[in-house]
Amino acid sequence: MAERTIDELEGKAIHDLTIALREPLEVAYQVLNAISRLCALETPGTLTKAQIVRMLLLQRLQNDLRCCCLDAVRGYPLQAATHAASVYEGWVNIASIVDEPTALRWLNHKSEAASFGSVRGLTEEALETVLGNREKAIRLYAQYQQLCMPKHLNPIVERARGYRIEGKEIRFEAGPDVSAGAIAHGWYSIEQAAQLALFGILSFMHNDRPPLTEELEKEISSVAASLKALQDTSVEKFPEHYRRAG
């Protein structure tokens, strides 16, 4: 019997994982839709440079959340985690653009070897800007480090994937992963990315103060409630995974 092509394997993975990851996917799509509606709001007058930069970053964050979902549902949970890490970076960058001088520094950034700021430093600034304190910075940055492990090919992650043992033989498996471990990692990546994207929305609203409709305000509140319920389900469904990851 001929081996199945990568397209066939991914097709089967999409079928199985769309079911297995239904709950985090549904919440992630709620977040994606909320961002689309936020971006579509009319802004009176001329946009400031800070508004333009924040909008660019919010669109990038939205695309990274979407790619996280696409990777997870196709059986690539490690790649999904890397996109979730990018969502984190999008959130803290949005929060850092608080005024015109900062936006100008962002627009004039010329170094190819360094980002706009250190992620840890931006995390502390984000919490200071939105919450008025930096108490949660260490815990949130630890979650970011967890999501970055697959991106940097950390051996702890890599040595636990890509093969199975049959008797005395080792069989390497490329392509999509639909194992229980892959489902747990995919679930975690989507759930974290969706939560971080909400942080991005809240930071955007805090800095930009767009004229929200009553409907959109209710939608964002509903998204926050859905994410809280999803997090509770996640911890209950994958307690060992969440102890390691969170």
Q: Dihedral sign, CA of 36, 41, 47, 48?
A: negative
Mean pLDDT of the chain: 87
pLDDT value for 246:
45
Q: Going by DSSP bridges, is the β-strand pair 169-172/163-166 parallel, antiparallel, or unpaired? A: antiparallel
Q: Residue 165: is its pLDDT beyond 90?
A: no
Cα–Cα distance measured from residue 201 to residue 131, given in angstroms and rounded to the nearest whole number: 14
Q: At what angle do helices 180-208 and 6-20 cross, to 10 degrees?
A: 70
pLDDT digits (tens, 9 = 90+) for 129-163: 776 667 778 888 888 888 998 888 888 877 777 66
How many alpha carbons fall within 13 Å on the CB side of residue 59? 8
pLDDT value for 1:
41
Q: Residue 219: is its pLDDT beyond 80?
A: yes
Which CA distances in Å does 210 have to 45, 47, 88? Answer: 12, 11, 22
- From the number of C-beta atoms within 10 Å of its C-beta (0-12, 13-18, 19+), residue 99 rates as exposed
Q: Residue 187: is its pLDDT beyond 60?
A: yes
Helices and strands of the chain, counted as H and E runs: 11, 2
